[in-house]
Chains A and B, each alone.
Chain A
Amino acid sequence: MLILADYLTLAAVLFCIGLAGTLTRRNAIIVLMGIEMMLNAANINLVAFWYFLPAQIGTGQIFAIFAIAIAGAEAAVGLALVIAVYRHFRSVNVEEITGLKG
């Protein structure tokens, strides 16, 4: 029988995989991919709480939909920033992008 902790553990593992990708990769696009993975792991938590705990109808799912919308906005702005940074520095390596003023 599956319990809530199973889903929460899976979400924790996926969150940490995304965190590791964000913290260890050089490429800015993979850093953004890690952030998307962390947001997805958080969504699993929301839906699992909705499924297992007595709550008001649909609250967890509605919150997860809001999180997906925020993630969409974040991905659009983040990738636009990556493209603008690439045009300026000719690189998306986060270790080479060190100057704030061009």
Chain B
Amino acid sequence: MKTAFYILAVWTMTSGILAISMRNMVHCALALIAFFVGIAGIFFSLRAEFLGAVQIIVYVGAIAVLILFAIMLTRDITGSEDISPFSGGSVWGWLISLVVLCVLVYSLQDQVTSAIPDIPPGLAVENIGQGFMTRFAIPFEVISLLLTAALVGAVVIALEEPRGKN
């Protein structure tokens, strides 16, 4: 349990840092896929098997492919190899994220420590489905409406502009 956690922690942190720091965009996307797989492993280690499967299907299966397509469609052929991949004021970005990290870790010092529960609360898919159909029925409908709207909106935004406009 502990070994698995540390392996997964090192795995996700390494792939996350690689995903935001490499020059080649496709390599960044591949590191991001490794990051998503590591997150799914953390879900599995927390006994949330359904969520781990959803993570792999949605992120590795759909969002990663979407990101790769976006990279291929917007590839700057003329090449921007000579300029740095980081923006001009990136020192401030690193500083802000470091400060946020320090504040978060500091605020974790005070919280109540609790050990692993004796009986891990294994949750069947049945319970999640029943939750969606009973207590969370209205949020479930709202999220499906949101997904439909996002789908239509994405198609409308990405549609080719009419030739006459330009």
Interface residues of A (CB under 8 A from B): 1-10, 12-27, 29-30, 32-34, 36-37, 40, 43-44, 47-48, 50-53, 57-59, 61-62, 64-66, 68-77, 79-84, 86-87, 91-95
Contacts and interface: CB of A to CB of B under 8 A. Distances in A.
Contacts of B111: 4-5, 8
A95 B24 CA distance: 19
Contacts of B131: 57-59, 62
Contact of B39 (A21, A44, A86): A44
Main SS class of interface, A: helix
Contact of A37 (B32, B71, B151): B32
Contact of B104 (A12, A23, A59, A76): A12
Contact of A61 (B9, B51, B87, B96): B51
B42 A68 contact: no
Given A29-B25, A77-B150, 18 more contacts: A3-B113, A4-B111, A5-B108, A7-B42, A10-B5, A16-B98, A20-B94, A25-B20, A30-B28, A33-B67, A36-B32, A51-B47, A59-B131, A65-B51, A69-B146, A70-B146, A72-B62, A83-B73
Contact of A48 (B16, B46, B63, B127): B46
Nearest to A26: B87
Interface of B: 1-2, 5, 9, 12-13, 16-17, 19-20, 25, 28-29, 32, 35-36, 39, 42-43, 46-48, 50-51, 54-55, 58-59, 62-63, 66-67, 69-71, 73-74, 76, 80, 83-88, 90, 92-94, 96-98, 100-101, 104-105, 108, 111, 113-117, 120-121, 123, 127-128, 131-132, 136, 139, 143, 146-147, 149-151, 153-155, 157-158, 160-161
